[in-house]
Structure 1
Amino acid sequence: MNLTRVLTFAALVGSALMAGLFFAFGTAVMGSLQRMPAGQGAVAMNLINVRIQNPLFLLVLMVTALICLALPILGFVQDSPGKWWLLTGSALYLVGIMVISFAINIPLNDQLAAVDPHSAAGAAEWLNYLAKWNPANNARAFTGTLAVISFALALHTNRAA
């Protein structure tokens, strides 16, 4: 098994873990928090946002991003048959998960944490948060899933060659 295949499998697993996390948030967690009184939902989300910054989550998130930076280069240098799938999966992960997270979701998390969740301003921020955070999160789940499919196709294409 060569390095490109090992890294492709690692990128597939990392993308699947991230997509699954974002899918769970989009289908269960956020809907539950939305049904709570605004102050309670915001407090719960703030606690989640602190707790999620743990070594295992950050390891999977960042190592997968690093792998996605290396995979297209390896694929093209080795002229891998699945190089276009590697490029596609990597771009989907880097743009759809990393860029969206750092450009939209994390700044929204910081804004939410900066207000008193039990104040009128906090309630307004919570509504703003939900309106922007949820679609961005759903985009992360969707692009992460497409990245998984792309990496699976890269593995299949490389195996068939």
Structure 2
Amino acid sequence: MTAIAPTTSLPARPGGRTEASLYAATIAMGLSAGLYFAFDVSVMPGLDRTDDAAFASAMGHINDAIENGFFGLVFFGAFLATGVSGVSLRRLGHTRAARWTWAALALYSAAVAVTMKVNIPLNRRLAQLTAEASGPELALIRDRFRGAWTPANAARTLACTAALACLGRALTLRARG
């Protein structure tokens, strides 16, 4: 008969959950920054090579496709994980790391505000206006859309990239203890 050794578990590392939430925040923030950056450097320049009807159609399909669970997980997960990390770091006495995390949260909040106040309303308006527009009217709609949407997206890219840098600094400070 073989004896079964008792199982022992290692004690939980203090702040292990904090590290996990900080890594999750950093990954989600990187994905957000990367998504917005991809629009800045490839999606919108690529759509600029299409005619007005194709542009409107493609933007409509992109906006429909992005409303999915994976995007929602990243979009809202970045916010939640960053906030949880800031609270946890503060409770553990990692004040400097917590401050960098709060800065990341403020920057990401700005990106979310731009998304909600500028990009989403523009996307919806583009879909409404282009449904029945054609010719010169469609070109004007496209130009106005691009003129507002593109700088707003660049602002989101910069805010998320800066937030990512802040989270990187928080990770470094947390690792140093």
TM-score, length of structure 2 as denominator length? 0.84
The equivalent position to 2:154 in structure 1, one of 132, 138, 156, is 138
Matches within 5 A, 1:69-148: 69-80=83-94, 81-96=96-111, 98-116=112-130, 118-119=133-134, 120-148=136-164
Q: Indicate the structure whose relative CO is greater, using CA pairs within 8 Å and at least 6 residues apart.
A: 1
The equivalent position to 2:22 in structure 1, one of 1, 5, 8, is 8
Gaps of 5+ in 1: none
Gaps of 5+ in 2: 1-12
Report the equivalent of 1:39: 53
Contact 2:114 2:156 in 1 (8 A): yes
Name the stretch that deviates more: 73-82 or 14-23: 73-82
Contact 2:85 2:101 in 1 (8 A): yes
Aligned residues: 160
Alpha-carbon distance between aligned partners in 2 of 1:5 and 1:69, rounded to the nearest angstrom: 13
Larger Rg: 2
Structure 2 residue matching 1:114: 3-state secondary structure: helix
Pairwise CA distance, 1:136: 0.8
Alpha-carbon distance between aligned partners in 2 of 1:35 and 1:84, rounded to the nearest angstrom: 43
Contact 2:56 2:130 in 1 (8 A): no
Matched letter for residue 18 of structure 1: S
Contact 2:130 2:141 in 1 (8 A): no
Alpha-carbon distance between aligned partners in 2 of 1:157 and 1:69, rounded to the nearest angstrom: 17
Structure 1 segments of 4+ aligned residues over 4 angstroms from their partners: none
TM-score, length of structure 1 as denominator length? 0.92
Cα deviations across residues 84-133 of structure 1 (Å, max 9, x unaligned)? 1111111111212x111111100100000102355243332211110111
RMSD of aligned Cα (Å) = 1.5
